[in-house]
Structure 1
Amino acid sequence: MSWPKKLRTDRRYDSELDDLKYEYYKDLRDEKVRIQSSHGFLFCPYCPDKRRREYEFHELMSHSSRIGKYSKSSTFKEKAKHLGLLKYLQRLEDRGEKFSEQKSRDQEKADVCRDAGSKSWKLQRSGNYGKSAYKMWSDRESGEIDDLIEDVLLPDEKNESVKNDENLTSKSPSVKFTEPPLVSYSTADEPSISRAKDELIVWPLMAVVANIPVVFQNGKYVGESGSRLRDEWTAKGYNPLRVHMCWTFRGHTGFAIVEFKKDWTGFTNAMTFEKDFEIDHHGKRDWEMKRDKGNELYAWVAREEDFKLKGPIGEYLRKNGDLKTISGKETEDKRKDNFLMSNLANELVIKSQKCEQLKKKISRTEVLLSNVMKQKEDMIEGYNEEMKKMQQIQNAELQHVLNEHKRSNLQLEARKQELMMRENDLKQREALTESEKQKLNQQKEMNEKAIQEQQNADDKLLKLAEDQKKEKEALHKKIIELESKLDQKQALELEIERMRGAVEVMTHMGEVGDTEAEKKKKLIEEELQEKQEELDALETVNQTLTIKQRLGNDEVQDARKEMMQGLKDSRAFICVKRMGELDEKPFHIAVKRKFPGKQAAVKVAELSSLWENHLRDPDWHPYKVVMDGEVAKEILDESDEKLSGLKAEYGDEVYQAVVKALNEVNEYNPSGRYPLPELWNAKEGRRATLKEGVEYIHKLWKQNKRKKTF
């Protein structure tokens, strides 16, 4: 395995481990899993070992760290459990608490916050509360975060200390302080800043708004919408994202949750929002102490007490937020930044290595191209030498034929002279008989025929030599043409590889704004496209095979349709199922729990009809695309408003039935959005193959045949 692939595997493993670790941490944080027994000692809730159950705080931290980080025999799930326990213990330690001391410290913190709130509205009435407390957040450095906490959260304590100093000075004006005070304001405020940074706040920042006017109408409480409040507070500069009204089965509760941005600007807006209400004596402390609350709104930033409340406020805060300290948020942001920098550094290393690999490929391609060109030159030189040898052999053969032809002509001419002499001799001899004269005439005619045949043979020989010469020239041209095409194909393939390498190098090495490089890259890509089209022209044979394959697939689909038509009423394990059809059984069960008798039947019909319409609606597509490595995958969006509302109102069984039908429609008919029949294996819960359908029909045929026989 290459190290980039191994690195991606390790990242995926770490990501899954972090997700599982956070789930177990949430169980511990929400006290679904406890680590303290009724006798007061600590124990590990994830270890089945009964011999040692009692731990000190640091012993339990060491135990969870050893198993979660260093154990080689532990499973993936055991490591995630102990890492979640370690994170929970570190959180308690960072807050300066041990498990047994947590309740007393929370009580002390509540008393301090209550005293600070009392001082705040007193100072506001005296006019000492300055506008500097609302300074905007501009940077995320830890020093500026402390300044922001000091300005926004702790202005009362500073003003109180300043006021005390002024009172001392006014009481004794004759006394002059020649030495600076032993404790400065910053030193005195450090415990308050630390306490504010360690205070648990719901994150992302949310505020609770109370005393919203409601009216009882038609059996339920109703109130104004959150959009008007959001617009009003946006105009005042608080910039909330949304205002969520809290509802129950009785209607509007008179409470609302105001959500702010997740960044430090949202933190500043939320704290300013809370302080403004406290200045107007409409904070949380005023809400708890006043009996006559009037018609004014009360608001405060959601903290640990609100997070743990029962009812719609606590449920919404636990569902959409998490308890974090400011110092914990700083640490988390720094960890994310470090993780991002690490990923960017790794990506840079991978890109550099890819560039090096591309350079090596280009160098190898250049060497291969030079070798091919050298081989081509050697082939051309060898071809020229062979052609010279063939021409020499042809010339020698032609000269030999001409010499033989001349020799034959001389022989025939000599024979002719001889015959003419014999004719003259016979003419001179009067005593020659008629038979001898006839023989002489026959020999003469035969001689003339032989001469004619020899002439015809000579003509044919010349014509044959010319035809052979033409054929050799045509063959020579054909060989040259084939070699030229072969060279063009090889050169085209090498040119395509070279251009692809050049495009990849320019893609990885090119800088933004390099116009010449982009033009050159565009020209190379166009030329590469032309070369690729030329190469694709040589591969058209695959179209015939594709057509044959499609014809075969059409025949198989026709056979499958005929089989489904025959098995449409079957109730055996091989049957026909309508993919995307909604199962109404979970709807009956869920509705009967909430509605009585006849009303339940009507409600089931309405609910199933409503979700049938949702499933057929092409505009509703609750899916999202995620990247699995380098592959894009489409998964269900569980945060979809319709699905989440259905799950919250009717339970998980109805939700799963709708999700199942939705996935079937998305898989089998995403464009039409209506149910389609499909050959189904009910025993294994999957799509049946054509072979399984044929075997089932053959089995039925055998059974019917036996019945007829008996």
Structure 2
Amino acid sequence: MNSTVSTVADEDSDVRRALMDINSKEESSDISESDIDDYKKKPFEQLRAGNYKVKNLNGTLRCPFCAGKKKQDYKYTELLQHASGVGKGSANRTAKQKANHLALAKYLETDLSGEADQVQGPSLPQPFFQHQQDDLYVWPWTGIVVDIQDKSLHHSRYWLKKLAKYWPLDVHIFKENDVTAQAVVKFSDDWSGFLNTRDFDKSFGTKHCGKTDWELQNMKPDSRIHGWIAREDDYHCEGPIGKYLRKKGSLKRVSDIVHEASKSRRSDVAKLANEIDVTNENLAKMQYRFNEKTMSLSRMLEEKDQLHHAFLEEIKHMEQRVAKESRRISDEKKHLNRELEARKRKLDLWSRDLNKKKALTEKEKQKLEEDKRMKNLGIESLQKGFYGEEES
């Protein structure tokens, strides 16, 4: 059993992938709006030939041109509404997609129209309806109560409370005289209201207080209260009850109610299907915008990371350059300091040598002065001796 299910699931998955490939190829070579009527013939013939899968194994239907979508378990009316809606009015679909869906709508109406008969209408009470579907009833569903002789019961509040288990909506009292009164009980106009009205009718019938019992006693008052569901003869009867029923209600067959309810249900289903398609398209748009925003945000974050990385790299290079420059300046400072010290020592040596030379120069100068003085004295002495000899 499990292997069978697995095989079916695998086949279904393969079909999905194949259809997605087909759709992607078709979308890549789209047609113009004016070619839709001509192009839809091709997918229609392919549908008839069985090239596209429309029926699911569980009896539901699928759209072969929307492969990959979550919604793939349509009922007949839902799928027909989906195909017609996409084919005629979806602005977000390509011309080829519209043509495909128009072909699907035509295929459903011509080849799968029998699937529409399988749409279930409201469940009918069985076997109650088997012989009464063509009977005419007053609608909205109505009950009648007659022969109310106790004056304390001539109040709608009492009957609303007494009949509470049948969920009546309203009770209208008609007083025939000071002693006897009649009542019309209104129920909801849906199927639950009919079931409640039927149970109301049966509750009187099982106690032999139904309409047949009332007619058997020639509609003469007695100690029992009678009640029944309002039908055609009640609608046309004389008196206040007949007048009230003709004013407030109408006659309908149960089969008509079933048909109208089924028609309304199909319309609601089609409307909901269309709303679902619109919602899905809106979700697709939102998803597309979300993906765009996500991609844009991803790019922004990536650019931010790149800028941050470049900033860190630049800071790192600047720190390296600053450290290298600091080392260079420090080394140059040390070198200049060493050179300055060397020159200072050299200047000191030069200063000492200069001082020494200056001292030697002073001594030599003094010696020269002394030699000069001695020479002068010697000259003077010679002169004096020479001139003295001349005088003598």
TM-score, normalization by structure 1: 0.26
